[in-house]
């Protein structure tokens, strides 16, 4: 039964002071909110004023979550008005603080589904059904939180990354917030701090691995696909030993996407295409070095490799352009500890006269002279002045993307990279970075964060009613973004600015949807792709 109190407590129905007199009368709300009827704009202005009075980023985020929990339209209205300001508050890097302190900060579940490896299949399905509460779910972001950003294993606390990623889907691409569901798969945690914390709210045991884990994931996917047949399933922040496995297991069967592998691959390819537009260099001439060859590092490398092949190199020729460096140094094919994704790009020891010395980034940079250096290592400061200067000595416009998140983990600071290279480096960071002024030129720093692309990718795939998300669609997404850069401007960024997020999400969505339709992956007939994308978009307005 929908009582007046239920309406006020439901963030999808509640309008607060914006209920009109007629609505108040019809719904039994007369006298249950203050007498003045406000517009959404007035509410947004008042709420923004309150937001500004908060002194720390964490307090700002907690305040916005309160609005999210009480009134979705108002939350997204505000978010759309202040995208650049809110992104680092609602999302990365502030989200890392709320994940690390989840139990201490816990107030409410934010509409998420909490699935436990200790429950049976029937309970998994029941939880998803309960969480959907009759809504037609089109998009799930799921995490098992083993590799949250670069901060590691956070167990059930990681649910916040699923909630946060979904907020960006709506703010950037207008995904209807009533069609989404954040999910956490709690398979335990190996984070001793959590296991020892009396307040920890998740399963207090070690991470389960092997067949029981795989079965848990399978049961979740089966239940979700069964309940929500038009689902787009987004995987986030799984550990290195599971992320690629899971994607490989499902990508040919359902419409699914791994953000750390594929989303990051797209944004880095787009950033490189943007950088080369500025430097006027050729893509197939580049020498690529990935520092940190885990989920993101290997995923990005695969995307850049596929592009080299698309641009005419044979796979064997293309492979010669890539070097992976991880903890052990340059990755060699005779190393028995390589992951399957690393093996594809491991080098032959015989190629180097000093192979035994290539155990650190400095030695490898000297030996292979990369033109592109991408960091996904979680090692702050790893791109030292000496390394960067060595790289810049052999290439006119070094492309350097320190992408480890959150802020404290970045391999270098943008301002240092610009200074050390006399303004020649083409830089993008994983989190927002301020402009850098050097020798009278203002350099804008692109944000190579998958958040710039996954919303449009999801919108386009959903709008096309695509039954799969394949590499052709992914390539189309990267190319649609890479073309937006204004290469004529001195100090131009390699990627479009977050202030245009809503615009280029539409661009990405159209490119992806067109690709899906051209490949006949659409479930339903689509005659006009632009209209299909536009019509799917939800706007924050009271109905
Ligand atoms: N900007 C983005 O959009 C984006 C997207 C995905 C991931 N990331 C960031 O990339 C980082 C890695 O994420 P992931 O999901 O790939 O994690 P991961 O654990 O799968 O990979 C990290 C890799 O770094 C390696 N590593 C650790 N110490 C190292 C060292 N001293 N030298 C060289 N390599 C070392 C690990 O062995 C591992 O292979 C995180 O900080 C994450 O926030 C950024
Ligand atoms: O969450 C982000 O900010 C990007 C990325 O997915 C990451 O894991 O770092
Ligand atoms: Mn991630």
Q: Which of 463, 372, 447 is nearest to 403 (CA)?
A: 447
Sequence-separated (6 or more) residues with CB below 8 Å from residue 52: none
The backbone torsions φ and ψ at residue 363, rounded to the nearest 5 degrees and listed phi first, read -65, -40
Sequence ranges of the binding site: 236-237, 260, 405, 449
DSSP H or E segment with residue 438: strand 436-438
Distance set, CA 168 to CA 91, 171, 280, 392, 528 (Å): 8, 5, 33, 36, 26
Regarding the beta carbon of 405 and ligand 2, being less than 6 Å apart is answered yes
Rounded to two decimals, the ipTM of the complex is 0.99
pLDDT of residue 486: 83
Q: Could you give the angle at the alpha carbon of 64 between the alpha carbons of 62 and 67, nearest 5°?
A: 115
Q: Which ligand is nearest to the CA of 403?
A: 1
Which strand ranges, in their side-by-side order, compose the sheet holding 372-375? 329-330, 322-326, 288-291, 372-375, 399-402, 426-429, 446-447
Give me the mean pLDDT over the 4-8 stretch: 96
Query: Does any ligand 2 atom lie closer than 6 A to the CB of residue 97?
Result: no
Q: What is the mean pLDDT of residues 284-292?
A: 98
Same fold, 94-239 and 262-449: yes
Could you state, in order of their start, the residue ranges of all structural domains in the chain? 4-81, 94-239, 262-449, 452-536
Distance from C-alpha of 411 to C-alpha of 172, rounded to nearest angstrom:
27
**Cis omega before residue 353 (within 30°)?**
no
pLDDT per position as a tens digit, 413-441: 999 999 999 999 999 999 999 999 999 99
The pTM of this model reads 0.98
Confidence of residue 509 (pLDDT cuts 50, 70, 90): very high
Mapped onto helix, strand or coil, the DSSP state of residue 488 is coil
Q: What is the mean pLDDT of residues 460-475?
A: 98
Query: To which residue do tokens 């750390």 refer?
Result: 260
| pLDDT at res. 487 | 84
Is residue 149 within 6 Å of ligand 2 at its C-beta? yes
Torsion of CA 424, 426, 428, 432, to 10 degrees: 50
Question: Residue 19's closest CA among 29, 6, 9, 4?
Answer: 29
Q: Is the pLDDT of residue 255 over 90?
A: yes
Tokens 């401007």, located at residue = 489
Going by CA atoms, what residue is nearest to atom 3 of ligand 2?
92
Q: Backbone dihedral region of 465: left (phi > 0), alpha (psi from -120 to 50 degrees) or beta?
A: left
**CB-based contacts of 277, cutoff 8 Å, min separation 6:** 482, 483, 485, 487
Helix (H) or strand (E) segment spanning residue 377: none
**Residue 68 corresponds to which tokens in the numbers above?**
């999210």
- Among 88, 144, 244, 294, say which to mutate for ligand 1: greatest number of ligand atoms within 8 Å of CB: 294
**At 387, is the pLDDT very low, low, confident or very high (cuts 50, 70, 90)?**
very high
Alpha helices by DSSP H, listed for 71-158, are 72-81, 83-90, 94-100, 102-105, 121-132
**Cα–Cα separations (whole angstroms), residue 346 to 265, 319, 361:** 19, 9, 15
Instruction: Judge whether 165 counts as a catalytic residue.
Output: yes
292 Cβ inside 6 Å of ligand 1? yes
- The tokens of 125 are what? 């399905």
Can you tell me the distance from the alpha carbon of 422 to that of 499, in angstroms, rounded to the nearest whole number?
Answer: 28
Please report the DSSP string for 315-337 in residue order.
HHHHHTTEEEEETTEE-BTT-TT
Kindly report, residue by residue over 347-356, the tens digit of the pLDDT. 999 999 999 9
Rg (CA), the chain: 24
Q: How far is the CA of 258 from the centre of ligand 2 (A)?
A: 11
3-state secondary structure 338-357: CCHHHHCCCECHHHCCCHHH
Rounded distance between C-alpha atoms, residue 196 and residue 173, angstroms: 40
The residues with which 140 forms a beta bridge, in sequence order, are 181, 233
Which whole number is the average pLDDT over 58-65?
98
Q: How far from 523 is each of 140, 175, 382, 536, CA to CA, in Å?
A: 19, 19, 47, 15
Backbone angles phi, psi at 443, to 5 degrees: -95, 125
In this structure, the number of other CB atoms found within 10 A of the CB of residue 157 comes to 27
Mean pLDDT in residue range 50-54: 98
Alpha carbon nearest to ligand 2 atom 6, residue: 260
pLDDT, the chain, mean: 97
Indicate the annotated binding residues for a divalent metal cation.
236-237, 260
- The class that CATH gives domain 262-449 is alpha beta
Active-site annotation holder among 125, 165, 443, 454: 165
Residue 482 has pLDDT above 80, yes or no: no
* % pLDDT > 90, the chain: 98
Per the CATH hierarchy, to which homologous superfamily does domain 94-239 belong?
Malic enzyme, N-terminal domain (3.40.50.10380)
Per-position DSSP letters for 163-228, written without gaps between them: HHHHHHHHHHH---GGGEEEEEEE-----HHHHH-TT--S--SPPP-THHHHHHHHHHHHHHHHH-
Q: Does pLDDT of 277 surpass 90? A: yes
pLDDT in tens, 151-192: 999 999 999 999 999 999 999 999 999 999 999 999 999 999
Regarding the beta carbon of 160 and ligand 2, being less than 6 Å apart is answered: no
Residue 256: pLDDT band with limits 50, 70, 90? very high
In degrees and rounded to multiples of 5, residue 152 shows phi and psi of: 90, -145
Averaged pLDDT, 96-118: 97
Burial (CB count within 10 angstroms: exposed 0-12, middle 13-18, buried 19+), residue 270:
buried
pLDDT score of 483: 67
Residue 376 Cα to ligand 1 middle (Å)? 4
CATH number for the domain running over 4-81: 1.20.1370.30
Burial class (CB in 10 A: 0-12, 13-18, 19+), 23: middle
Nearest CA among 383, 365, 367 for reference residue 375: 383
355-382: per-residue pLDDT in tens? 999 999 999 999 999 999 999 999 999 9
Query: Measured in angstroms, how far is the CA atom of residue 77 from the centroid of ligand 3?
Result: 25
**Token code pair at residue 460:** 């386009």
């Amino acid at each position: 039964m929908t009582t007046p109190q239920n309406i006020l407590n439901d963030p999808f129905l509640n309008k607060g002071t914006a209920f009109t007199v007629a609505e108040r009368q019809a719904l039994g709300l007369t006298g249950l909110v203050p007498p003045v009827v406000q517009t959404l704009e007035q509410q947004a202005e008042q709420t923004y004023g309150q937001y500004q009075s908060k002194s720390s980023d964490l307090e700002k985020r907690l305040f916005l979550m309160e609005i999210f929990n009480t009134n979705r339209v108002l939350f997204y209205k505000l978010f759309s008005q202040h995208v650049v300001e809110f992104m680092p508050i609602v999302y990365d890097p502030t989200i890392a603080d709320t994940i690390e302190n989840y139990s201490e900060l816990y107030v409410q579940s934010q509409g998420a589904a909490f699935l436990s490896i200790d429950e049976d299949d029937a309970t998994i399905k029941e939880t998803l059904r309960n969480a959907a509460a009759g809504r037609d779910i089109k998009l799930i972001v799921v995490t098992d939180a083993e590799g949250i950003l670069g901060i590691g294993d956070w167990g059930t606390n990681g649910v916040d990354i699923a909630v946060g990623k979904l907020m960006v889907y709506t703010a950037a691409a207008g995904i209807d917030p009533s069609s989404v569901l954040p999910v956490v798969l709690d398979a335990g945690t190996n984070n001793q701090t959590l296991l020892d914390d009396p307040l920890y709210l998740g399963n207090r045991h070690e991470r389960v691995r092997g067949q029981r884990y795989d079965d848990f994931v399978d049961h979740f996917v089966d239940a979700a696909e069964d309940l929500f047949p038009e689902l787009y399933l987004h995987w986030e922040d799984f550990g290195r030993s599971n992320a690629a496995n899971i994607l490989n297991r499902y990508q040919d069967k359902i419409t699914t996407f791994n953000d750390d592998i594929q989303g990051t691959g797209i944004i880095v390819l787009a950033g490189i295409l943007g950088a080369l537009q500025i430097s006027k260099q050729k893509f197939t001439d580049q020498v690529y070095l990935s520092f940190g060859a885990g989920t993101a590092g290997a995923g990005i490398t695969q995307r850049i490799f596929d592009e080299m092949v698309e641009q005419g190199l044979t796979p064997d020729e293309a492979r010669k352009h890539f070097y992976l460096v991880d903890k052990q140094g340059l990755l060699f094919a005779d190393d028995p500890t390589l992951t399957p994704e690393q093996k594809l790009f491991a080098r032959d020891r015989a190629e180097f006269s000093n192979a035994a010395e290539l155990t650190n980034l400095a030695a490898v940079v000297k030996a292979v002279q990369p033109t592109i250096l991408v960091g996904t290592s979680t090692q702050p400061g790893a791109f030292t002045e000496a390394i960067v200067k060595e790289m810049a000595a052999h290439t006119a416009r070094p492309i350097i993307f320190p992408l480890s998140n959150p802020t404290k983990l970045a391999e270098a600071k943008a301002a240092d990279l610009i200074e050390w290279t006399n303004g020649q480096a083409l830089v993008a960071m994983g989190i927002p970075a301020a402009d850098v002024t050097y020798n009278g030129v203002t350099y804008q720093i692109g944000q190579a964060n998958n958040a710039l692309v996954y919303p449009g990718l999801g919108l386009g795939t959903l709008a096309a009613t695509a039954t799969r998300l394949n590499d052709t669609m992914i390539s189309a997404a990267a190319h649609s973004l890479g073309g937006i850069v204004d290469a004529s401007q001195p100090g131009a960024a390699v990627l479009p600015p977050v202030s245009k997020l809503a615009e280029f999400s539409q661009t990405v969505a159209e490119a992806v949807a067109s690709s899906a339709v051209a490949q006949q992956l659409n479930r339903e007939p689509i005659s006009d792709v632009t209209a299909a994308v536009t019509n799917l978009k939800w706007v924050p307005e009271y109905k």
